[in-house]
Structure 1
Amino acid sequence: MASASKTRKTATRLLTAVAVLSGLVLSAAQANAATASLPGEAPAAAATALPVVNMEATVLAAQIDPRRADSTQTPGAHDSVLAVEQALQARGLLDARWVDGYFGTTTVSAYAAYQRSLGFTGLDANGLPGTTSLTSLGQGRFTLTRQIGVGAKLKRDGYTVNTRTQNMLLEAERLSGVHIKLDQGSYNPGGDPTSAGTHDGGGVVDINVDGMTSATRTAVAKALRQVGFAAWVRSPSQGNWPWHIHAAAINDTDLATQAQNQTGDYYLGLNGLANHGADDGPRVAIQTWEEYQRTH
C-alpha cells in the first residue's frame, strides 16, 4: 500500500494535470492545500506560537505601576505583563481577578513568591523580574525578548557598581564633558542611612559635585537622564546630606525596592523623595539605557 506522503504527491500531480487541461494552472501551494487532508488521513496539527514577553517593558511596568494612584497601565507593557500574570496564575500564585496587564503590588507580591520558590532570597526575591526567573516562568508559556543584563560587578572610585551602570556613567561623562566621581556606589546595604536603602542593590550611585557650578550640576544631571538614569541634584535643604547628584539606573534588574520606587516616581513626574514633590530636575525625554543605545 502506498504511504500517505506518496498518495498526496500522486494526487497533487493529478489535480495539477486536470487544472492545466481545463485552462487553470494551480500553484504548488494551491495543489498542496487541496490535498492537505486526504480521506483516512488526519489533518496536520497547527503550530501554536507562544506569546512574546518583552522583558524591558515588563521590568519597567514593575517599577512604575505600583507607584500609580490608579490602575493606568504602562504603555507598551500590557501584553507582556498579561502573559507573565497568566503564568503566575497557572502556578496558583495570582488570583484571576489580578490578571489584567497591570503590574501592581499584588502582581509584585506574586512574582516575589515565585522567586522564593526558585530559592531566591532578599533583594533577589523582591518581585522585580530578572532574566533567570522570567526564563523559568516562561517555560512552555511564553518566549522572552529584549532581555536585560547588568553584567559583572566592578570598582569605580573605590565603590562597587555593575557593568551596565559603569557604561551608563561613561556615556554621561562623554555627553556632559565632565568627569563623574562617585561619593557612594551600589550594593551597599547598611551604608549611608540618609539613602533610605536605595543603594542596597545595583544601579544606584551618588555623584560628587564639589567645585561644580549650579549650571554644571544641572548639565551632569541632564546627561545622566539622557542615558537612562532617574537623576536629581540633591541639596542640603532637602535632607541631612551635602550637595550631590543621586542617580538610579532605570530597569536595572538589581534595583532595591526603594530604588524601584524612585524610578517609578521619576516616570510620574516626581522628585523621588519621601515628600513626593514635583520633579525639579532638567527636562529630557525619559528612556532606558537600552532605548538610548538603540537610537545612538
Structure 2
Amino acid sequence: MKLPACAAALPPAVLLAALAGMVATPAAHATAHATALPSANMEAVVKAAQIDPRRPDDTLTPGAKAGVLLVERALRDRRLLDAKWVDGYFGTTTVAAYAKYQKSLGLTGSDANGLPGRTSLTKLGAGRFKVTGVISPGARVSVGAYVVNARTRSMLKEAKRLLGRDFELDQGSYNPGGDPTSAGTHDGGGVVDISVKGMDSATRTAVVRALRLVGFAAWLRSPQQDDWPWHIHAVAISDTDLSSQAQHQIGDYYLGLNGLAGRGPDDGPKVTIRTWEEYQRR
C-alpha cells in the first residue's frame, strides 16, 4: 500500500487511525462473508417439508421457495438429489434425500426423519447459507408418567392456561412399539393423546380448540375412528422430531383433512393454523 507524501507529516496517532481504516482485518472479511450468505428460514422450510408431500399437486408452500431451493441445491451438490427435483417443492423425493443426508451424518431414528433439524440444516448450509427462524424441540422431559420434549411441554402448559383447567395424557411421545393402533405416530416427538374422561361435549371441543390455538394439529377421536377409547390426539406442528406418520398428519391438517388414513375432511373446530413459534409472536 502506497501512502500519499503528506502522510509523513501526520502525527503518529492520526496515521495509525488512518491505516486502521484502510486495512481490512480477517475478522472483518469473515463478517462480510457471513453477511453475504443467503438465508434459509427454517420455519418455512420445515412447514413445506410437512405440507408438500401431502399435496395433490405441485403448489409451492407460500414463503418457503427460497429456503427450499437453498436446501435442494446443497443436496444436489452432495449427489443426494437429482437436479430435476431442485424446484422449491419439498416433496417426497426431497424428504427422502434429506433423510439420506441426515443418516450420512450418523443420525438415526427421529433425527433422520427427513425434516430439517437445527443441527443437520446448519451443517448442510455451512459456507452456503445461514439458518434463521430456528426451531428446536428441546430436551426430553416428563409430563406426569409420559415423556415429551420441552417444546411440547410448553405448548401443553399454555393450552391449559388458556382453558383455565388441567387435563391428563393417555400417551406421550418417543414411544416406539407402543400401542399398535397409533400406527407409528407416537414413535417420535411432538405427539400426545389426551384423556377426555369426565369431559362433556363442549369441554372436549374447548380442549381441542385450545390445543389448536397454541400450535397443535388436534382432533377428538372416537373408538370407531381408530380402535381406541375416546381421546384427543394432538400433534405439535413443525416439531422436528416428528415420525413420518405424524408428519403426514400435519400436512393433512394444513390441507383441511382429519389426519386419518381415509383422509376425510377436518371435523374439529376451525382456528387460524399457527405453529408454536408463530403463536408466541402474535
Match of residue 237, structure 1, among 224, 237, 246: 224
Match of residue 127, structure 1, among 90, 102, 114: 114
> Any gaps of 5 or more consecutive residues in structure 1?
11-35, 37-43
2-side partners of 1:286 and 1:7: how far apart? 64
The equivalent of 1:99 in structure 2 is 86
Aligned residues: percent identity?
69
1-side partners of 2:50 and 2:123: how far apart? 21
Match of residue 167, structure 1, among 132, 149, 154: 154
Whose relative contact order is higher, 1 or 2, with alpha carbons under 8 Å and at least 6 apart? 2
Q: 1:97 to 1:183 in 2, by over 3 A?
A: same
The equivalent of 2:64 in structure 1 is 77
Tell me which amino acid in the other structure corresponds to 1:243. W
1-side partners of 2:68 and 2:102: how far apart? 16
2-side partners of 1:75 and 1:7: how far apart? 55
Q: 1:9 to 1:273 in 2, by over 3 A?
A: farther
2-side partners of 1:62 and 1:150: how far apart? 16
Structure 1 residues 179-194: aligned runs within 5 Å: 179-194=166-181
The equivalent of 1:222 in structure 2 is 209
1-side partners of 2:6 and 2:131: how far apart? 39
* Contact 1:65–1:103 (CA under 8 A) maintained in structure 2: yes
Q: CA deviation at 1:178?
A: 2.4
Q: CA deviation at 1:53?
A: 0.4
Match of residue 257, structure 1, among 232, 238, 244: 244
Matched residue SS, 1:188:
coil
The equivalent of 1:267 in structure 2 is 254
Greater Rg over alpha carbons, structure:
1
2-side partners of 1:285 and 1:265: how far apart? 15
Q: 1:87 to 1:8 in 2, by over 3 A?
A: farther
Compute the RMSD of aligned alpha carbons.
1.8
1:206 maps to 2:206: no
Tell me which amino acid in the other structure corresponds to 1:250. I
1-side partners of 2:50 and 2:166: how far apart? 29
Q: CA deviation at 1:7?
A: 4.3
* Contact 1:169–1:180 (CA under 8 A) maintained in structure 2: no
The equivalent of 1:50 in structure 2 is 37
Q: CA deviation at 1:176?
A: 1.3
- Structure 1 moving runs of 4+ over 2 Å: 6-10
* Contact 2:113–2:241 (CA under 8 A) maintained in structure 1: no
2-side partners of 1:7 and 1:222: how far apart? 73
Q: 1:112 to 1:8 in 2, by over 3 A?
A: farther
Q: 1:135 to 1:8 in 2, by over 3 A?
A: farther
1-side partners of 2:115 and 2:218: how far apart? 20
Tell me which amino acid in the other structure corresponds to 2:134. Q
Tell me which amino acid in the other structure corresponds to 1:188. N
Query: CA-to-partner distance for each residue in 1:173-227, whole Å, 9 max, x for gaps?
Result: 0111221200000000011111100000000000000010100000000000000
Match of residue 86, structure 1, among 56, 73, 80: 73
Question: Normalization by structure 2: what TM-score?
Answer: 0.88
Tell me which amino acid in the other structure corresponds to 1:132. T
Q: CA deviation at 1:155?
A: 1.1
2-side partners of 1:275 and 1:123: how far apart? 25
Tell me which amino acid in the other structure corresponds to 2:186. H
> Any gaps of 5 or more consecutive residues in structure 2?
8-21, 23-28
The equivalent of 1:17 in structure 2 is none
Q: CA deviation at 1:122?
A: 2.6
Between 261-270 and 121-130, the greater mean CA deviation after superposition: 121-130
Tell me which amino acid in the other structure corresponds to 1:150. P
Query: CA-to-partner distance for each residue in 1:67-125, whole Å, 9 max, x for gaps?
Result: 11111111110000000001111111111111111000110111111111111123221
Q: How many residues align?
A: 259
* Contact 1:197–1:256 (CA under 8 A) maintained in structure 2: yes
Tell me which amino acid in the other structure corresponds to 2:112. A
The equivalent of 2:16 in structure 1 is none
Q: 1:86 to 1:237 in 2, by over 3 A?
A: same
